[in-house]
Amino acid sequence: MIRISTSLPDFNKKFEAFLTMREGGEAEVSSVVSDIIMHVRKNGDAAVLEYTKKFDKFIATLDDIKVDEKEIANALALCSPELIKSLKIAAQRISDYSKKQLPEDLDYVDASGTRLGHRWTAIDAVGLYVPGGLASYPSSVLMNAMPAKVAGVKRLVAVVPAPEGKLNPAVLAACHIVGIDEIYKIGGAQAIAALAYGTPSIKAVDKIVGPGNAYVAEAKRQVFGRVGIDMIAGPSEILVIADKNNNPAWIAADLLSQAEHDAQAQSILITDDDTFAEKVIIEVERILIDLPRRNIAKKSWQDFGTVILVKNWQEACDISNKIAPEHLELAIAQPEEFFPLLRNAGAIFLGSYTPEAIGDYIAGPSHVLPTSRTASFSSGLSVFDFIKRTSIIGCSEKSLAELSRYAQTLAESEGLHAHKLSVSIRS
């Protein structure tokens, strides 16, 4: 675990090292992924089945990999009524929030008489990658798919790794509640390739969203351009800015809520009180003892856990903006006072009664957020990821005559004479 303080003369040096501590540790997967994508493009379904057997130990046929209604019904029967109710409430809250994000079209006539504006339309087909294997996340199905549904996407396709052919019933239940159109029991780079380029059995999509391992992330990077993608997501991270009036156990639990995701995840505490920091560290160690995923969380905390001591909250906000965390909790007495100073974060959780986990499951905004400091230039998944804007331009004879002279001048200055002609020929 790392401890640094802004009051020490070597803070800037240590802070810069901290910012880059998780860089460069990724496995070299580019060539492997490239080969997988090429094989799927060339051999289609056969390649997908081959990799499914190799990586998921699932000897499947084309009929086996597509989930049917009977399998969904069986999955629903295995889920408790309380789980189904929770998934439905979460789905409704995500839907309600997403509907408020829907933008309006623009259509007007300017002073020259030219019609201008834009129109929003949904993407036709979207592929959703749902992580499987060691952990399955029905919440990710809701958080990725519901904004797409609200946006008006016509075809939603889910791909889910199925080790030995088995799927988590809760994941299938979430797919059913959202209304996924097609579900395939495939994962890894081969699933991304199938979605991007299509196979005889799986029709290609226009965009791929959803988190995955390093191979999935690299595959999304390589198919970008053929299809759209949401983002290249890295390990999860949380930054908690907390004062001494918090319950140390609460803050410790919040830090571990992300550490238990992945050994590469990062949990950061910023506080102005050294004694409080010690109490939080003690609580982290105490909670770890009984945490079911303690081996993962413990390694994350030991390798990347960080405590930063600051002199005031202005300093804390400045540091937070440089970190640009995926999740940012502002657990201080007057969070609204400092909220305007926080510019770079995937999501901000205001006050001690707003744990990050409430955003993971039930609050409403998607939990798919930018990681690895990319919140400094990008946003979390939303309705806007599933719609595109088309400009509208309509000239009348009169408005074209008014604008023609200037368009011709600009075209001539660029040496594009056919451009100039296409305007002047109408005069």
DSSP string across 117-160: EEEEEE-SEEEEE---TT---HHHHHHHHHHHHHHT-SEEEEE-
Domain ranges for the chain? 2-22+235-359, 30-229, 395-424
Instruction: Work out the average pLDDT over 232-251.
Output: 95
Asked, colleague to colleague, whether 2-22+235-359 and 30-229 share their fold, the answer is: yes
Least confident of 133-147, 179-193, 271-285: 133-147
Verify whether residue 39 is a known catalytic residue. no
DSSP codes, 357-372 = HHHHHTSSS-S----T
Pairing of strands 106-109, 237-242: unpaired
The active-site residue out of 327, 329, 356, 367 is 327
pLDDT at 134: 55
What is the DSSP-derived secondary structure letter of residue 224? Answer: B
pLDDT at 24: 63
pLDDT digits (tens, 9 = 90+) for 64-110: 999 999 999 999 999 999 999 999 999 999 999 999 999 999 999 99
Task: Tell me the C-alpha distance between 188 and 354, whole Å.
Answer: 34
In this predicted structure, the answer to whether residue 273 has a pLDDT above a threshold of 70 is yes
In this predicted structure, the answer to whether residue 206 has a pLDDT above a threshold of 80 is yes
Q: Which residue has the tokens 């993962």?
A: 296
The active-site residue out of 326, 329, 356, 367 is 326
What is the DSSP-derived secondary structure letter of residue 103? Answer: P
Verify whether residue 261 is a known catalytic residue. no
Q: In a 10 Å sphere around its CB, with 0-12 CB exposed, 13-18 middle and 19+ buried, how is residue 291 labelled? A: middle
Give 329 or 1, the one with higher predicted confidence.
329
CATH topology of domain 2-22+235-359: Rossmann fold (3.40.50)
Instruction: Work out the average pLDDT over 340-354.
Output: 97
Instruction: Work out the average pLDDT over 227-240.
Output: 94
In this predicted structure, the answer to whether residue 132 has a pLDDT above a threshold of 90 is no
The encoded tokens of residue 102 equal 């829907």
Instruction: Work out the average pLDDT over 214-221.
Output: 94
Instruction: Work out the average pLDDT over 285-308.
Output: 96
CB 160 within 8 A of CB 187: yes
Least confident of 17-31, 171-185, 361-375, 380-394: 17-31
CB 408 within 8 A of CB 272: no
pLDDT at 287: 98
pLDDT at 298: 97
Among residues 175, 202, 172, the alpha carbon closest in space to that of 190 is found at: 202
pLDDT at 22: 81
CATH superfamily of 30-229: Nitrogenase molybdenum iron protein domain (3.40.50.1980)
Q: Does pTM surpass 0.85?
A: yes
CB 317 within 8 A of CB 338: yes
